Amino acid sequence: MSQWERLMQLPAAFSQQLHDLYDREALPMDVRHYLAAWIESQQWQRAASDYDLAMVLFQALLGNLDIQYSRFVQEESFLMQHNIRRYKQNFQRYQEYPCALANTVCWFLDKEKEILQTADLAEQVRVLQVEQGGFETSTQRDLDRRMASLKNEVQCMEHTMMCLEEQQDEFDFKYQTYLLEADNSANPQQDRFQLLINKLNNSRKTALFDLNKLLDRAEDLINVLVNKEMLQWQRRQQKSCIGAPDRVCLDQLEKWFTCVAECLFQVREFLSKLEELVGKISYDNDPVKAQKPFLQRRTGKFLTDLLKSSFVVETQPSMPQGKGPLVLRTGVQFSVKTRLLIKFPELNNSMKVNISMDREAPQIKGYRHFNVLGTTSKALSESQSGSMVADFRHLNLKEQKTGGGGKGANDISLCVTEELHILYFNTLFELKGMSVELQATSLPVVIISNSSQQQSAWASVLWFNMLSKNTKDMMFFAKSPAATWPQFGEMLSWQFLSATQLGLNDAQLEMIAHRLFGKQQSYDICSVTWSKFSKENSPDTFWVWFDSIVVMVKTYLENLWRDGLIMGFVTKCKEKLLLKKKQKGTFLIRFSESVIGGITFSWVEIDATGDPEVKTIQPFTKTDLSQIPFHEIIRHFLILKEVPQNPLLYLYPNTPKDEAFGKYYADMSGNDSPYLKYIKTRLVFVLKGDTREAVTSMTADVTEGEVLQPMNGPNGEIAGQSVDSLEPHLVNYCLDPMLCDTVGISGDDLLYPSNSNHFFDPEIFIDEPTLPASL
């Protein structure tokens, strides 16, 4: 099932996320829908950095739109004809920047995967009824119960006010009668009149007591919403921004905030009603006159606190082609969405939201300042889901030229990607005589000016949101705290989880901990500093090494990783211990510890003495994987001896290779010619020569990267190479040796090592050799 077909089958809650995603002009939903199969089959990731391929895809997109236009002409669908023509005109802006189009399509496809991942996780929680999900349900039920109780008390208070008004009308009637019948002499009804005043006074006291009790209940709920639920949501949003599978939907919070706000506005109406009643009838020691001002101040404070917490940034700033949210680049458009959690129909399009930047910027030398460009003012309006949002979609940043590089007495050395900035959103809430200024702030963003800074900027975003709960701490990196290993390992796992839907297991995390801290009894007490994470051994820092692996897996190996076929993070020592206990041909796949963005495999063989040997191939990089899928490398990898053979038989621990990778195999040969019988060929990696002597040395305790001495094998010389340096060569291999024999061509004639390691010229190897003319 295609990705788009899966999206079409999502429940309503996630379908709305899809509608929100495509509620923009960059890639219309109509285009995504009608060209779904074609879009998902193209190499957009590669085209983002390959101008020629990007231009080919751009032209193909326009061609496909022409085909759809012709289809709608035949179907006499006037509206779709108009839309397709308009879409094609809009895409013309990518004529000179086709790579930008590829970046944009990649961003939308990644966002679709995030929606599917969220939906899958939600389904797992529902089916498995995990402990956390049960706790959240219990909390929600408790708050729902308390909300219902508050609304019930408001209804009872409404009835009390009606009874009080009726009682006062009765008192007023009897009082007027008393005045008409009264004379200067002693009136025996005066005592009766005093009883009526006492009864009214008691009723007013009861109403005031009930109002005070109602406000007590509202205060408790506001404390829970503002000081617990909202803070927890903000923390979940922080973690979600860096890959955590936390739920950040605001619908439930909106329901609770709106409920409490409605009740408080009704309390204000009750107090106004009391004031009206006192204006008609009052007397000495009237409790309403004494207590109403206090109740009004209390109600106003609660409502103000609730309102100020109800205005939030629902979707943090992000660029369509960014690695993640909170990294912005000058001159590149970004989007951000704010939301008001108190939902009243009267507010639709009545509140203007204005955006600004760095109102509380630190006054230090060198700190940059930026102007926000684009549509910086928008009205809060009702979205398709019914929520009150202001969606800013086409903003960008421009650095202010300050000449001296900023003002201030301090001069703290922060690099560009350690400099944090905050976006501010301001609006005015006005309803039923209530006026409150509201402000929401984004999480700190990192602003870059070049795409080469994006990897380092994303490291800063990860570090801040992993460790800091103070979302306005713009000087966080002036004295960054260390992360405990449990915090750090969890964050690393989130990177794989968000990229591939499968995080890291305990064994993989242990290998990473071993790389960072060496052998330890327990890693829980270990900590990682900011410098160790992203600065030491620059430019090949720990983060560069780890992130390059994530990018490689996401781009080329996602399905293999998700199916658990890649062991990935395993030390060489552990690798040898695992493989030497296994039968000949058992292999495992791991990430290189020395080659950035490299993946390799090791297998076990039995030497002449019957002892197991572990052999490791030189790592493959994105250059190799962009030419041949990794599963095809595994499938057709050869060692050139007297008879070429593939040494890879069983994926660790004991799964036959074809059983493990079989569903990914694909024969890419074209249709046979009806006139000529072609000799079919295949691009494969081979290991040239007898490598036994080199392998013998390699199986000793040699650290990765150590150079071995040159050796001569019986079939050729192998110069000094590192542990990961059993170097494969890419060749064009004949698939029909019998046919080769028939026409007098030897297998060796069709087995050519490439001129450059791990690379091949498609023009040389894709052409199929034909039979000699004599045939």
**pLDDT the model gives residue 529:** 95
- Distance from C-alpha of 230 to C-alpha of 311, rounded to nearest angstrom: 11
**Count of domains forming the chain:** 4
Q: Are 588 and 576 contacting, i.e. CB atoms less than 8 angstroms apart?
A: no
- Distance from C-alpha of 87 to C-alpha of 31, rounded to nearest angstrom: 8
**pLDDT the model gives residue 118:** 80
Q: Are 27 and 102 contacting, i.e. CB atoms less than 8 angstroms apart?
A: no
User: Does residue 618 share a domain with residue 475?
Assistant: no
User: Does residue 424 share a domain with residue 386?
Assistant: yes
Q: Are 332 and 319 contacting, i.e. CB atoms less than 8 angstroms apart?
A: yes
pLDDT at 48 over 70: yes
Could you tell me which residue, 110 or 302, shows the higher pLDDT?
302
User: Does residue 282 share a domain with residue 357?
Assistant: no
Whether 78 maps to a domain, the answer reads yes
Q: Are 221 and 267 contacting, i.e. CB atoms less than 8 angstroms apart?
A: no
The CATH number assigned to the domain holding 725 equals 3.30.505.10
Banded pLDDT at 185 (limits 50, 70, 90): very low
User: Does residue 276 share a domain with residue 144?
Assistant: yes
- The residues pairing with 481 across neighbouring beta strands, listed in sequence order, are none
Domain finish residue from 128, 151, 175: 128
Q: Are 331 and 396 contacting, i.e. CB atoms less than 8 angstroms apart?
A: yes
The predicted model scores a pTM of 0.73
Least Cα distance to 733 among 637, 642, 602 occurs for 637
Average pLDDT of the segment spanning 689-707:
35
Domain finish residue from 276, 309, 342: 309
Whether 684 maps to a domain, the answer reads yes
- Distance from C-alpha of 189 to C-alpha of 200, rounded to nearest angstrom: 17
Average pLDDT of the segment spanning 92-120:
84
Coil, helix or strand for 453?
helix
- Alpha helices for 518-562 (secondary structure H): 530-534, 542-552, 558-562
Average pLDDT of the segment spanning 700-727:
38
Average pLDDT of the segment spanning 587-605:
92
The residue behind tokens 């430019």 is: 539
User: Does residue 228 share a domain with residue 113?
Assistant: no
Q: Are 439 and 425 contacting, i.e. CB atoms less than 8 angstroms apart?
A: yes
Ranking 203-217, 359-373, 506-520, 688-702 by mean pLDDT, the lowest is 688-702
The CATH number assigned to the domain holding 90 equals 1.10.532.10
User: Does residue 14 share a domain with residue 93?
Assistant: yes
The CATH number assigned to the domain holding 381 equals 2.60.40.630
Whether 518 maps to a domain, the answer reads no
Whether 398 maps to a domain, the answer reads yes
Whether 502 maps to a domain, the answer reads no
Banded pLDDT at 87 (limits 50, 70, 90): confident
User: Does residue 305 share a domain with residue 371?
Assistant: no
Structural domain harbouring 677: 562-765
Domain finish residue from 446, 464, 479: 479
User: Does residue 304 share a domain with residue 187?
Assistant: yes
User: Does residue 576 share a domain with residue 705?
Assistant: yes
User: Does residue 188 share a domain with residue 100?
Assistant: no
The CATH number assigned to the domain holding 147 equals 1.20.1050.20
For 277-319, how does the pLDDT look when each residue is reduced to its tens digit (9 = 90+)?
888 888 888 899 999 999 999 999 999 999 999 999 999 999 9
Average pLDDT of the segment spanning 553-579:
91
Least Cα distance to 260 among 228, 305, 296, 227 occurs for 305
- Distance from C-alpha of 389 to C-alpha of 310, rounded to nearest angstrom: 12
User: Does residue 139 share a domain with residue 114?
Assistant: no
pLDDT at 379 over 80: yes
Whether 551 maps to a domain, the answer reads no
User: Does residue 369 share a domain with residue 325?
Assistant: yes
Whether 265 maps to a domain, the answer reads yes
pLDDT at 331 over 80: yes
Ranking 132-136, 224-228, 607-611 by mean pLDDT, the lowest is 132-136
Tokens of 446: 């990192």
Whether 538 maps to a domain, the answer reads no
Question: For 284, phi and psi rounded to 5 degrees?
Answer: -65, 140
Q: What is the mean pLDDT of the chain?
A: 81
